[in-house]
Amino acid sequence: MIRKLKSGEYRLYSRKKNPDTGKRRNLGTFKTREAAEKHEREVQYFKRH
């Protein structure tokens, strides 16, 4: 899940909420949406390999 921050950057969050905090885990902050989407694909690949 990618959200745009007020600073104009994009942050990648985990899809599931963290049971301890009730919030989503931050998986990185990126300057562009393309960079965030690229990293999201890398994360999905890593989860399966």
The reported pLDDT for the residue numbered 19 is 94
In tens digits, the chain (49 residues) has pLDDT values of: 999 999 999 999 999 999 999 999 999 999 999 999 999 999 999 999 8
Q: What is the pTM of this model?
A: 0.85
The reported pLDDT for the residue numbered 28 is 96
Please state, in angstroms and rounded to a whole number, the distance separating the CA atoms of residues 46 and 26: 16
Structure tokens at 14: 């985990």
Contact at 8 Å (CB) between 27 and 37? Answer: no
